[in-house]
Amino acid sequence: MDSHGQNEQRVVWAVVDSDIGPLLLAATGEGLVSVGFHATDAVRDKALDRLASRFGTEPVEAPESPLLAEAIRQVAAYFAGERKDFELPLDWSLISGFNRQVLRELASGVPYGSVVGYGDLARRVGQPRAAQAVGMAMGANPLPVVVPCHRVVESDGGIGGFGGGLETKRKLLALEGVLPEPLF
C-alpha cells in the first residue's frame, strides 16, 4: 500500500514489432492490461501517461519481465501463424459493465478464423437491441488483437469500424483466413 492507503500496482510495458506495425503491450500483476496500435513515440507516451494516471504509478519498460515475456511470445506466434488462441491472464480493470461483458463474450465465444455481427454479439449478452453499444464496446477495447474486436463485423457483410484503422482490421482478418490477402 502507498501512503494514501491505495494498492499500488506495478505496470510494465514493451513495444513489439508486428505485421500491423509496432504494438504497445502493458501488463500488471493481474495480467495483460493494454495493447496499443501504431505505437510511435507520441502514441506510446500518451498511452503510458493514461496508464500512469489510472494505476497511480509510472509504467516501467521491461520487455524481459515475466509479466510481459509470455505475452510477447504469444503475440509473435500469432503473427507468425503459429498460434490461434491467446492463453494469457488478462487484467480487465480498464473496462467495466456492459463493455466488459461484451468483450469477455467476444474473447471466449468467437474463435480464430470466424466473425460475428454487432447485433449477434449483442444478443449473446442478452441485449438484442444493443448493436450500437457493442460497437462502442469494441472501440473501448483495451486489449485489441488478444480480445479480438477485429472479428466483429456488420451484419450486411461490411467490415465495420476499427480503432486500429480499417487496413489493420483487414490485415488481421486476412491473417485469420477470413478475408483474402490484399493484392497490393
Q: Which three cell numbers stand for residue 83?
A: 498460434
In the set 149, 153, 172, 173, the catalytic residue is 149
Q: In the annotation, is 149 catalytic? A: yes
**Main-chain phi, psi angles of 128, to 5 degrees:** -60, -20
Q: Which three cell numbers stand for residue 103?
A: 468483450
Report the C-alpha gap between 116 and 18 in whole angstroms. 24
Count of H-run helices and E-run strands, the chain: 6, 6
Report the C-alpha gap between 149 and 56 in whole angstroms. 28
| 55: CB partners within 8 A, 6+ apart | 8, 9, 11, 28
Residues annotated catalytic, as ranges: 149
